[in-house]
Amino acid sequence: MVLVFTEINKNRIKKSSLECVQYAAKIAALTGGNVTALVNQASAEHLEELGKAGANTILNMNISDLGSDHILSCAAVEHAVKHSSAKVIVFAFDIAGKAIAPRLSARLKAGLVAGATELPAVNGAAFEVKKNVFSGKANAIYSIHSEMKIIALLPNSFPVVLSENKALVQEFQPDLSAVKSRITIKETKTNATGGMAPLPEADLVVSAGRGMKGPENWGMIEELATSLGATTACSRPVADLHWRPHHEHVGQTGVAIRPNLYIAVGISGAIQHLAGVNGSKTIVVINNDKEAPFFKSADYGIIGDAFTIVPKLTEAIKKFKAHQN
């Protein structure tokens, strides 16, 4: 049995959660058994989507303050593990997964692979799971020896193909009376991202660096992003200089992303920047210095002045899109 922890954000099942359900379904196919998805306060539409992603059973909870302290979510997952007799538990390696999966791992003495990028290979009683190490410069195969196993799946590393599958839905009321939330929320702040997909989930990203000279020049970056339906990002100095908000900073110290397309404008390609973006499927680099290290890590490169190239590229994309419709 495989249990998947899933989340709803902005009234949608998170993309990373759907990836996890699909991943769990593939594990269940390898090991035998079914997939149970755990979710809180899901609507009929959410339940349908989880079914389509491959859940056989859905445990739908109705707990209003579940997200306030990970201690509660962790306890809920523990109840669901018992209820479903799960031996494998899948999380997304995202903000919630990074907090809950390790706690659960310690409580159940279940070996955890944090940031898996591929399906496990079953080797006797052990699972062998690939994950990124050295900030994307290498991979390692981890072997999980314990009977219970936890895998936290790196977002955007597993494709989702929805089917017509329908899940059996059960109302699930774990008894959390013995666990007390010890965290009090004082204030919640929302990043102003407009209509853009959140960076960790974005398929398309347009990112710019110090080569843009100043925050007043970001209009053309935003226009390029809009023409593609992409999310904007930036290099670290750009966030440190307050040209752009901190949540846009990608790289080793910022957000690590792996979109299908990463367009880097006026970014030199320092190793610490690459650490957060080298998992992107396709990288396009625009830089006026032909020696910029980023060209060594790019699939497509344009050597030239961003100030003339970016608006022209936006036009080319608009033309392409208009043609497609």
Ligand X SMILES: Cc1cc2nc3c(=O)[nH]c(=O)nc-3n(C[C@H](O)[C@H](O)[C@H](O)COP(=O)(O)OP(=O)(O)OC[C@H]3O[C@@H](n4cnc5c(N)ncnc54)[C@H](O)[C@@H]3O)c2cc1C
Report how far residue 200's alpha carbon sits from residue 51's, in angstroms, rounded to the nearest whole number: 24
Contact region with another protein (CB under 8 A), list: 36-44, 51-59, 113-121, 213-221: 113-121
Which of 102, 165, 218, 222 is the binder for another protein (CB under 8 A)? 102
Mark residues 262-301: x for contact with ligand X by CB under 6 A, - for none.
Answer: ----xxx-x-xx--x---------xxxx--x---------
Strand pairing report for 88-92 and 149-153: parallel
Report how far residue 133's alpha carbon sits from residue 119's, in angstroms, rounded to the nearest whole number: 16
* Residue 162: CB minimum distance to another protein, A: 19
Which residues 6+ apart lie within 8 Å of 83 measured at CB? Answer: 59, 172, 174
Q: Three-state DSSP class for 250? A: strand
Residue 99 near which of ligand X, another protein, none (CB within 5-8 Å, type-dependent): another protein
Residue 266 near which of another protein, ligand X, none (CB within 5-8 Å, type-dependent): ligand X
Residue 249 Cα to chain centre, angstroms: 15
Q: Which runs of E-coded beta strand occur in 200-325?
A: 204-208, 231-234, 261-265, 282-287, 300-303
Report how far residue 210's alpha carbon sits from residue 213's, in angstroms, rounded to the nearest whole number: 6
Task: Considering only residues 161 through 220, tell me which ones interact with another protein, judged by CB under 8 A.
Answer: 182-191, 193, 198, 203-204
> Is residue 242 at the binding interface for another protein, with CB under 8 A as the rule?
no
Which of 69, 75, 90, 153 is the binder for another protein (CB under 8 A)? 69
Residues that bind ligand X (CB under 6 A): 209-211, 235-238, 251-254, 266-268, 270, 272-273, 276, 286-289, 292, 305-307
